[in-house]
Structure formats: structure tokens, C-alpha cells
Amino acid sequence: MVVVAVLIAANIAAHRSAGVLAVVVIPVAAIVLLLVARLGGLDWRELGLSRAELRAGIAFAVASVIVVAAIVSTAVAVPATRDFFLSDRYDDTSEALLAAFVVIPLQTVIPEELMFRGVLQGTLGRLCGPRATLVFGAIAFGLWHILSSTGLTGGNEGLSDVLGSGTAAQVVGIAGAVVATGVAGLVLGWLRQRTTSLLAPIALHWALNATGAIGAAVAWNVS
């Protein structure tokens, strides 16, 4: 399948390159897959991008952001869970804000949602039933995060305290990340099916990632 091949190639290229190439690979891959999908016959409705579908996702999008922000705020406020937000990547507030409002939406959330909940889910929807579409999409999304999860425990004080920082800890960290993102993919895929809109999973995905970055900056400042 062309979609899977492009996803694999883009994932490897993004994590094996540096500089500008590493930044643009995923967004470009998303555009390529969107063009492939349209040329292959998928319409805007099947991609969750028609005007009607986008309008249908507004309420769920707003609710998702509010709920996630409330949960993350509570977790950061509680000392027992605050350490899990201490990611070295977001120890600077300005960098965390830049990531939350620019890098994460443009480099991660929108491209990934276009690829997975848009093109892949739309394609699978033509080949499989709703349940199989959700399962296959979730598995693909979990596996997508293997490379990005390497070194996960080493850059997070909370995870390092629990799992350690050796090779075994890294393996456990990667496995945990794959399972967690697989479950997230299942939820995002369900939200796409439930609302028929790509806007709803985009909002939830952004809320999870962006509030995590902001929460990390807050955690560093109050620790």
C-alpha cells in the first residue's frame, strides 16, 4: 500500500536526517499523501475535511481542549505527578510556548492527523469495517512512535526515577510509548469516526501535546 510505504519512509527520514530536512519531512509527506488520496478518489468528506465535516467537529474540538487542559493543570499542581512533566526538552518557558503554538501544530499534529486520521483512516474505511479501521490505524500510530521514543527515559526525570536510564529502561520506555500512542490513536480514530471530522482529533492531539509542553515548563518553574 502506497500510504504505508510513504509513512514508513517519512518516519525513517525524519529521524535519520538533520536541519531543515528533519523539520519539513513530515509536513511534506502529509501533503504528498493528501494528493495521493485525492488522486486515488478519496473525497473531502472521506478525509474529514469537507465544510460540513469541519463544522461537525467544532464542539468536540473545544471540549477536548478544555478537558485535557484541566487534567494536565491538575497533574502539574499535584507534587506526586509533577515530576513526570519534567522533560528536558521544555525546561525553558519560551521554547515550550514556541513548541506548543508553532512547532507542535505545524510539524506534528496537523501533518500526523492528515496522514493517519485523514488519509490512512479514509483509505482503510474503504477496505475494512469500522472496527478493523480503528484497530489497524491505532497499531500504525503506535508503531509510528518507536523512533521518536528512543531516549525517552533519559530526558524525563520522573520516568528515569521510576524506570532507570539503562538499555532495559529505554526498551520499556519505548514499549510503553508505543502502547500509549496506540491507545491514543484508537481514541483519535474513534473521535474521527464519531464526529466524521478531522478537526476534532486535531484539537485533541494538539491539546495532549501542547499542554504537555506548557505543563513541563510550569513544572520546571515550580519545582
CA 23 to each of CA 8, 20, 32, 207: distance values in angstroms, whole numbers, following the listed order: 16, 5, 15, 21
- HEC string of the chain equals CHHHHHHHHHHHHHHHCCHHHHHHHHHHHHHHHHHHHHHCCCCCCCCCCCHHHHHHCHHHHHHHHHHHHHHHHHHHHCHHHHHHHCEHHHCCHHHHHHHHHHHHHHHHHHHHHHHHHHHHHHHHHHHCCHHHHHHHHHHHHHHHCCHHHCCCHHHEHHHHHHHCCCHHHHHHHHHHHHHHHHHHHHHHHHHHHHHCCCHHHHHHHHHHHHHHHHHHHHHHHHC
pLDDT of residue 148: 83
pLDDT of residue 36: 95
Structural domains in the chain (count):
1
pLDDT of residue 172: 77
Which pTM value belongs to this model?
0.89
Please give the Cα distance from 6 to 150 (Å, whole number): 21
- Single out the residue of 100, 110, 2, 108 nearest to residue 48, CA to CA: 110
**Amino acid making up residue 143:** L
pLDDT of residue 159: 54
Residue 187 structural domain: 2-222
Residue-level pLDDT, tens digit, the chain, 223 residues: 789 999 999 999 998 888 889 899 999 999 999 999 999 999 999 999 999 999 999 999 999 999 999 999 999 999 989 988 888 889 899 999 999 999 999 999 999 999 999 999 999 999 999 999 999 999 999 999 998 877 655 555 555 555 556 666 677 778 888 999 999 999 999 999 999 999 999 999 999 999 999 999 999 988 7
pLDDT of residue 13: 93
